[in-house]
Amino acid sequence: MTISAAGVTTDPDAALTMLSGRRLVVLTGAGLSTDSGIPDYRGPGSRPRNPMTYSEFVSGGPAQRRYWARSHVGWARMRRAAPNPGHRSLAALEAAGVVDGLITQNVDGLHGAAGHRTVVDLHGRIDEVVCLDCRRVTPRDELQDRLTALNPGFTEAHSAEVETAPDGDAAVEITDGFRVAPCAGCGGVLKPHVVFFGENVPRDRVARCYAMVGSLTPDDDALLVAGSSLSVMSGLRFVRAARRDGVPVVIVNRGVTRGDELADLRVDAGCSEVLGALAARPV
């Protein structure tokens, strides 16, 4: 199959026709989780966001207090998010043997909650916390309880007025006086177990993703991108790898993406709609 500049359509049937009978590796982004009530970064209508960078976070106490105060409010909402039809459709396609592997840029853990088994969380998981000193990993819910005890009433005072980002960051403006909890094991600095901007994705994780994409063949397989603008290289590189190998690439995303010229087709439609239609087709 010859790969050319992507055609753009609003018709989900175009993707179904191109992907029919092919084994898939899927790359997902924040646009997949919008139907779960988690806003994305760059979709139509999204307001500009400035996530905290790694260098800012490790700069000291004020930045860490700001991050954890905002995350404390955001997590109270994000922990209630549930998988939507898009997540469930991908899990069904995996169970049917159509999806052979999934790479997600999301940190919300909703693929696993939907029952998907083979998932690489490229940017980590927001429901985990890591100590930067002893590297101990603990559940985010445990930290939430500790922060609530240290800051009674903080969430209730702010949750009604703010918007939450895909990484759980809530737009709380006043964070002075918020008390941050240290690592319960060694007293070190706690960080969400996610890859911040300016931080590298672990090499072994990247290698697993390249192996998934590298297993695809031009005649029998395809790479499906769902809900990602591919604005950051951490995801775009796998589209480039598929393109180099001649593997068909289909993108489902509302709005243009950085990978449009690398793909065979982009369907400008919602992920739940397109993935639901794909899962409903006979294998």
Amino acid at 255: G
42 annotated to a ligand binding site: yes
174 annotated to a ligand binding site: no
144 annotated to a ligand binding site: no
254 annotated to a ligand binding site: yes
271 annotated to a ligand binding site: yes
200 annotated to a ligand binding site: no
CB atoms within 10 A of CB 250: 24
245 annotated to a ligand binding site: no
244 annotated to a ligand binding site: no
Query: SS in 3 state form for the chain?
Result: CCCCCCEEECCHHHHHHHHCCCEEEEEECHHHCHHHCCCCCCCCCCCCCCCCEHHHHCCCHHHHHHHHHHHHHHHHHHCCCCCCHHHHHHHHHHHCCCEEEEEECCCCCHHHHCCCCCEEECCEEEEEEEECCCCCEEEHHHHHHHHHHHCCCHHHHHHHHCCECCCCCECCCCCCCCCCCCCCCCCCCEEEEECCECCCCCHHHHHHHHHHHHCCCCCCEEEEEECCCCCCHHHHHHHHHHHHCCCCEEEECCCCCCCHHHCCEEECCCHHHHHHHHHHCCC
211 annotated to a ligand binding site: no
Distances (CA, A) of 56 to 51, 52, 53, 190, 250: 10, 6, 5, 14, 36
C-beta of residue 143 within 8 angstroms of C-beta of residue 168: no
258 annotated to a ligand binding site: no
40 annotated to a ligand binding site: yes
44 annotated to a ligand binding site: yes
106 annotated to a ligand binding site: yes
36 annotated to a ligand binding site: yes
Structure tokens that stand for 222 in this block: 């395809």
**Residues noted as catalytic:** 123
CA dist., res. 33 & res. 49, Å (int) = 17
229 annotated to a ligand binding site: yes
83 annotated to a ligand binding site: no
Binding residues for NAD(+): 29-49, 105-108, 227-229, 253-255, 271
**Binding site, annotated residues for Zn(2+):** 131, 134, 183, 186
Please state the residue numbers annotated as binding site: 29-49, 105-108, 131, 134, 183, 186, 227-229, 253-255, 271
